[in-house]
Amino acid sequence: MVFSSLVFLYYFLPIVIVLYFIMPRPLKNIVLLISSLVFYFYGEQWLVWIMVISTITDYLCGLIIEKYRKSKKISIAALIVSLVVNLGLLGYFKYSNFFVENINALLGANIPLLNVSLPIGISFYTFQTMSYTIDVYRGNVAAQKNFLSFATFVTMFPQLVAGPIVRYATIEHELNHRKHTMQNLSYGVCRFVVGLAKKVLIANVLGDFGNIFSSVTDKSILFYWVYAISYTLQVYFDFSAYSDMAIGLGKMFGFSFPENFNYPFISKSISEFWRRWHISMGTWFRDYVYIPLGGNRVSAKRWIFNIFVVWFLTGFWHGAAWNFIIWGLYFFLFLVVEKLLIGKYLKKAPSFFQHVYVLFFILISFVIFSGNAKEVLPAMFSVGKIPFINDVTVYYLKSYFIVFLIAVVGSTPLIKTLYGKIERSKAVRWTEPVVVLLLLIFSTAYLVEGSFNPFLYFRF
């Protein structure tokens, strides 16, 4: 089940909201837990047990770490069990076939691929539960004694399958002491519908353009460039839309999930881009990989090694394929070059140059991310070999111009800035519900007429 589906919007969510708010406070977590398990079971069936195993393991490991904190051997053993179980599940279900394929290619072997399916969201909920046991071991949080509360944290459907990666410390208090207000409910509904519109009316349409690109044989250089821009914007709107919907749903149920995107395309350096893009993942790798390795308080060689490890893992986390690993190492190189060579010069460069620099190399990075780099990158720079523009390109540019324009403007803070200047006016207070309702109606109409289009990040 996905948020941008009619089943979720008009059956599952209304039923859950009604049940949740009519239940007394002690039973609200039970409603969330059961509905989350139903939500996950609807799409994954028996694979729900993978999440249950992870939940039980980390709950027990947290209790053991807390109880035997003075005994280093026992507490470390419990932490290791947690890491081994979670990384083992992630490795088996997500990466086993990748390793088999590469062993076969390298050694000329014929090892059969394993008949395993990738559980949706496993990259997210395993990272959440690992961060919990690590934080308990570090003494940053107390172990959760109530299994119901802990299971609610792990399985909560708003952020279960595609983030943001919500750490236990972030919502520890809210698990049992959250407040429910009409203001939070109203904000949650608005945030959710805006995210839904971003997904359905922008990301899905850009996805349709990508499908057209794949089917067209008479391409031009400009067509390849427009595809690269379209795909980059599609990934942004697809993933940020899910984060918006997750944050909105969290607010409806009294939780404050962390922001995951902060207009990354206005960045002036690659380093800044990664402080604005997929923030919860970046901070996870920073706190649980980069800093434990020594961070930047080490020699230059060691720092380069630390950055290499982080970005190799970041790329590999996104998918079991070489294009994702190359994509991660691509950013490793840029971050090292910015830090050691060009950073001080980049800061002195004109703002326009900084933006062009970031946008150009981010665009190239997402071509690598798409897995189409072998075809697309050479064609983008094939001056003289294929036409710069042709009638097919002009036709599709005209057809999708409005969507491209909305996507480009929507990826900047312009709309948010303008809204901030007028949000207190009476006109806005009266028209905001109307706009939200219209976005819901248009999104529903698209879903009724359109084809199924799941979130890109579900496969990660």
- Residues annotated catalytic, as ranges: 318
Q: How far apart are CA 192 and CA 170, in angstroms?
A: 20
Query: Tokens 């003075």 identify what position?
Result: 70
Q: Which residue from 194, 296, 314 is spatially nearest to 243, judged by alpha carbons?
A: 194
Q: How far apart are CA 451 and CA 103, in angstroms?
A: 38
CA distances from 200 to 126, 154, 164, 299, 431 (A): 28, 27, 19, 48, 22
Per 3-state DSSP, what percentage of the chain is helix, strand, and coil (rounded to 5)? 75, 0, 20
Q: Please report how the helices 122-138 and 72-90 are oriented relative to each other, as an axis angle in degrees rounded to 10.
A: 170
Query: Within 91-203, where are the H helices?
Result: 96-107, 122-138, 147-155, 168-171, 174-177, 182-197
61 vs 79: CA distance, rounded Å: 7
| Euclidean distance between CA atoms 306 and 308, whole angstroms | 5
Round to whole Å and give the CA distance between 160 and 22: 24
- Report the distance separating Cα 437 and Cα 435, nearest Å: 5
Which of 20, 280, 357 lies closest to 156, judged by CA? 20
Alpha-carbon distance of 432 to 423, in angstroms, equals: 9
Please state the φ and ψ torsions of residue 23, each to the nearest 5 degrees.
-80, 145
Contact, 69 vs 75, CB < 8 A? yes
- Can you state the angle between helices 221-252 and 373-380, rounded to 10 degrees? 120
Q: What is the sign of the dihedral through the CA atoms of 240, 248, 161 and 167? A: positive
Q: Which residues pair with 386 in a beta bridge?
A: 383
